[in-house]
Amino acid sequence: MASTGEVAEWSNALVSKTSRGETSSWVQIPPSPHRYIIMSVSSLPRNAPEEVLEEVAREYKQTLIIPKHKSSPQWMLMPVGLVGAGKTTVVKPLAEHFGLIRISTDDIRERLKRRGYTYEGAREMTHKLQKKYLELGYSLALDANTGSTFGLEFNKKTEEESPQVRQIFIHVNPPEEFIINKLKNYPHSWLFKDGEHAVERFNFHKKDFTLPNLPFVYTFDPSRDDFSEQLKQGIEAIKNSLQSA
C-alpha cells in the first residue's frame, strides 16, 4: 500500500489502514476518478469546536478599536471585491475617518488556521460580532467581500435583524492584471503558501463570482496613483448617501 502523501491508482474504499495500522483518507484528485492521495486523517484540518470558536471570538474582540462616539445615522460600510482587490486597503482608512468598528473575516480566519482548524464558523462569528455592536448602537465597517454568495446571505440577515441600519456599498475593483501581479509576488503566510497558490485561489473565487446588482456609492481602484484623491471622493460620496437617507 502507498505511504502517506504518495499518489497511487485506487478504485476501492476511500478509507483504509496503512501497513502501520493508522487510519488514512484517500483524497480524489480530478480529473481521474481513480487517482487518490493518501493522507493521515489526523493531519487533515478539522472544524473548530464551539469552545474554540468562543475563545477566538473573545481574543478577536480585544483587538477591535471601539470609537468614543456613535455615528448618526447608524450604518455599515459594505465593500465588494475579489481576493487581492485591496478591500482592506480601502476599508481601514474609511473606518478610521468615520469612526467605524472594523470587523475582518480574514483576521478571524487567521486565528482559526493558526490553531489548526478550518475556516468553518468564521462568517457566523463575524455576524455575531456585528450583531452585538449594532445592538450597542455602533456603526461598522465589514472587511470582507459582502457581494459573495455568503456575503449576500448575511447582508439580508442583517437587514432583517437591524432594519434601521443603512448598508452603504462600495466596489473595490482594480484591473485583474494588477491583482494577478500582486498575488504572484505574495510571500508565504498563513493565507497563501506562495504566489502560485495565491493566484490559484483568486481564479477559484473569480469563476464563482458574479458582481451583484447593488447601489454602489463609489468604485475604488487601488492600482492607480491617485488613491488619496479617491479616498476624498469616496468619503464625500458616502456622506452624500447618508445625508440623502
With CA atoms as reference, report the closest residue to 127 among 147, 103, 149, 106: 103
For residue 53, count other CB atoms closer than 10 A to its CB. 20
Residues 71 and 131 in one domain: yes
| pLDDT for 194 | 84
Shared-domain flag, residues 145 and 197: yes
Q: What is the pLDDT of residue 33?
A: 46
As a whole number, mean pLDDT of residues 125-152 equals: 95
Q: Which residues contact 136 (CB under 8 A, 6 or more apart)?
A: none
Residue 90 shares a structural domain with residue 159: yes
CA distances from 83 to 5, 135, 181 (A): 29, 30, 13
Residues 166 and 232 in one domain: yes
Q: pLDDT at position 89, please?
A: 96
Identify the band that residue 192 occupies on the pLDDT scale cut at 50, 70 and 90: confident
Instruction: Tell whether 169 and 79 lie within a shared domain.
Output: yes
Tell me what the mean pLDDT of segment 171-188 comes to.
90
Q: Does some domain include residue 2?
A: no
**Domain presence at residue 118:** yes
Q: Which domain holds residue 25?
A: 7-43
Domain contains 218: yes
Residue 114 burial by Cβ neighbours in a 10 Å radius (0-12, 13-18, 19+): exposed
What pLDDT was estimated at residue 24? 37
The three-class DSSP label of residue 45 is coil
- On whether both 26 and 74 belong to a single domain, the answer is no
Asked if 39 contacts 25 with a C-beta cutoff of 8 angstroms, the reply is: yes
- Asked if 103 and 87 sit in the same domain, the reply is yes
Query: Once rounded to an integer, what is the mean pLDDT over residues 8-22?
Result: 35
Lowest model confidence (mean pLDDT) among 121-125, 188-192, 231-235: 188-192
Total Cβ atoms within 10 A of residue 215: 8
Does residue 1 lie within any of the structural domains? no
pTM metric for this prediction: 0.79
Residue 58 makes CB contacts below 8 A (sequence gap 6+) with none
* 118 and 170 housed in the same domain: yes
Domains: count for the chain: 2
**Residue range 206-220: average pLDDT?**
94
Q: How, if at all, do strands 216-220 and 23-28 pair?
A: unpaired
Q: Among 147, 16, 218, 174, which residue's Cα sits nearest to residue 85? A: 174
My answer on whether 95 and 152 are in the same domain is yes
- At 57, the pLDDT band (50, 70, 90 cuts) reads very high
Is the model's pLDDT at 21 over the cut of 80?
no
pLDDT band at 186 (very low <50, low <70, confident <90, very high): confident
| 96: DSSP letter | H
**88 closest CA partner among 207, 236, 241, 191:** 191
Domain annotation covers residue 33: yes
List the CATH number of the domain containing 76: 3.40.50.300
Mean pLDDT of the chain: 84
Tens of pLDDT, residues 62-105 = 999 999 999 999 999 999 999 999 999 999 999 999 999 999 99
30 shares its domain with 131: no
Higher pLDDT, 166 or 198: 166
